[in-house]
């Protein structure tokens, strides 16, 4: 074990002291902060004027909305039922930014749907909700009560309008928390790709220049393999920690210095906006000073960074150990440094598949394939983070421990196989690497 730690310390010092490590540790988080700054500053700049089509086949609203014209919203009426797919694709409806469905059910359950092409500002959403709710109140009073409009509004039940993309009417991708898991999962595979590839190149380079023959005179092959994996892994953890610290400091400075008023307005709850809309009789011509920014709310209010970073660290360590065994086996098996290039593309595609698995889980969180990818060690790091970001259903929390157990057992199995391949292949030279070599060396002691 002492030899393993000596090799690990040598590998760690070599990586941490390199110029590429220092540059990536500084430039990487700065790039992330720059992207987040752009999202903070501009993601709330959504459409401020709307051309809205109201599909009202029963003519409940009698082609009327409000007594005075709103400069921000223009309404048109259709006396036929319009399918969302037809509204999304038919040329005759392309001039409209959104469609509101009005039928008898809206009067009963107080729930309506607004299908938009491009996401509007929150202020514009509340303006449309306010105006349609006001008009439907007049219809309800006239049809079902003998109350005055003022008395009715004292006891009214608010009408809920659900805003959805016309291209995603079932609202499958509405939960922005999934993107947080997707980001952390992709970050894991970026670090795995960088450092596992470094590990492969280091092993194949030492093998090609015959330095490994001198090293193996003092240490066992498995000790050399473990030392390299641990040393490179520690450098990955150090770099990732630097990223987290720099990004955390950057976000804190943005919140306190660059956007103090903007953050305060955007982090305010949507319920306050609705409450203001209900009491503001001049809302139709005044949509507010600031735009609600969902990205700001997501980063500063809805992400539980403590638990997320804990799971991220576990997935990073588990994923790196699992893939490092594969990359080490390939590096030890090549007959020359250039010979290993044929296996690099499949390994990179495998890592890309891991990232795609996280995206698939984000779009289809309840699909059977997502469950399979959740337990598969090749894709578990990204899928676990997506599902953790979305939250587990009651009684499903134990699956996180089950995935962790599967990943640990997979690491042990692949380390065992990689150790055999490393032991039998590290001193083999001049051969052309084929798949049969892997099967042969795993059987030999």
pLDDT of residue 268: 46
The tens digit of pLDDT for each residue in 285-329 reads: 444 334 445 566 666 666 777 888 899 999 999 999 999 999 988
The number of angstroms, rounded, from the C-alpha of 416 to the middle of its chain's C-alpha atoms is 33
Task: Note down pLDDT in tens along the chain; length 445 residues.
Answer: 788 888 888 888 888 888 888 888 889 899 988 887 777 776 655 556 788 999 888 888 888 887 677 778 888 999 888 888 899 999 889 999 899 888 877 777 777 888 888 877 766 777 888 888 888 878 877 777 777 766 666 556 566 666 666 766 665 554 567 778 888 899 899 989 988 888 888 888 887 777 877 887 788 888 888 999 999 999 989 998 999 899 888 888 877 776 655 555 444 444 444 444 444 434 444 443 344 455 666 666 667 778 888 999 999 999 999 999 999 888 888 766 566 667 788 888 999 999 999 999 888 888 899 999 999 999 999 999 998 888 877 778 888 899 999 999 999 999 999 888 888 877 777 667 676 777 777 777 6
Q: How far apart are CA 162 and CA 116, in angstroms?
A: 11
Q: Any idea which residue has 């007049």 for tokens? A: 138
Domains of the chain (ranges; CATH) run 2-39+175-270+279-443 (no CATH), 50-165 (3.40.190.10)
- Other C-beta atoms within 10 Å of 118: how many? 12
CA-based nearest residue to 232, from 1, 4, 14, 2: 14
Contacts of 228 (CB under 8 A, 6+ apart): 7, 8, 11, 199, 202, 203, 328
Cβ–Cβ under 8 Å, residues 192 and 319? yes
The tens digit of pLDDT for each residue in 421-443 reads: 888 877 777 667 676 777 777 77
SS (H, E, C) 297-337: HHHHHHCCHHHHHHHHHHHHHHHHHHHHHHHHHHHHHCCCC
The pTM of this model reads: 0.67
């Amino acid at each position: 074990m002492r030899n393993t730690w000596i090799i690990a310390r040598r590998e760690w010092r070599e990586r941490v002291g390199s110029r590429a490590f220092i540059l990536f540790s500084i430039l990487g988080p700065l790039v992330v902060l720059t992207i987040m700054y752009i999202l903070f500053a501009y993601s709330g700049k959504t459409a401020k004027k709307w051309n809205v089509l109201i599909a009202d086949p029963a003519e409940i609203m009698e082609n009327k909305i409000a007594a005075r014209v709103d400069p921000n919203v223009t309404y048109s009426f259709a006396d036929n039922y319009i399918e969302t797919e037809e509204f999304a694709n038919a040329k005759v409806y392309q001039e409209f930014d959104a469609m509101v469905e009005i039928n008898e059910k809206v009067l009963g359950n107080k729930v309506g749907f607004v299908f938009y092409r491009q996401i509007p500002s929150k202020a514009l959403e509340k303006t449309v909700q306010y105006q349609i709710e006001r008009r439907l109140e007049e219809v309800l009073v006239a049809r079902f009560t003998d109350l005055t409009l003022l008395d009715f509004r004292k006891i009214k039940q608010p009408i809920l309008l659900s805003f959805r993309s016309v291209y995603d009417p079932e609202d499958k991708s509405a939960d922005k928390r999934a993107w947080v898991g997707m980001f952390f999962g992709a970050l894991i595979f970026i670090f795995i790709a960088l450092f596992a590839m470094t590990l492969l190149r280091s092993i194949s380079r030492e093998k090609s220049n015959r330095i490994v023959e001198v090293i193996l005179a003092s240490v066992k092959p498995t000790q050399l393999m473990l030392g390299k994996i641990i040393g490179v892994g520690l450098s990955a953890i150090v770099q990732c920690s630097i990223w987290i610290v720099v990004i955390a400091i950057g976000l804190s400075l943005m919140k306190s210095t660059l956007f103090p008023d903007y953050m305060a307005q955007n982090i305010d709850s949507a319920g306050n906006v609705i409450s203001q809309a209900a009491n503001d009789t001049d809302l139709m011509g005044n949509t507010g000073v600031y735009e609600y920014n969902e990205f700001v709310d997501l980063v500063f209010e809805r992400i539980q960074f403590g638990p997320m970073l804990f799971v991220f660290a576990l997935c990073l360590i588990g994923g790196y150990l699992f893939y490092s065994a594969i990359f080490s086996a390939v590096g030890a098996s090549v007959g020359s440094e250039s010979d290993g290039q044929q296996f690099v593309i499949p390994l990179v595609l495998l890592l890309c598949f891991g990232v795609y698995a996280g995206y698939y889980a984000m779009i289809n969180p309840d699909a059977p394939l997502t469950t399979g990818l959740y337990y598969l060690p090749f894709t578990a790091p990204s899928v676990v983070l997506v599902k953790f970001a979305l939250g587990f259903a009651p009684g499903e929390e134990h699956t996180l421990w089950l995935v962790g157990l599967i990943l640990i057992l997979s690491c042990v199995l692949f380390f065992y196989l990689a150790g055999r391949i490393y032991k039998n292949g590290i001193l083999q030279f001049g051969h052309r690497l084929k798949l049969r070599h892997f099967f042969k060396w795993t059987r030999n002691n």
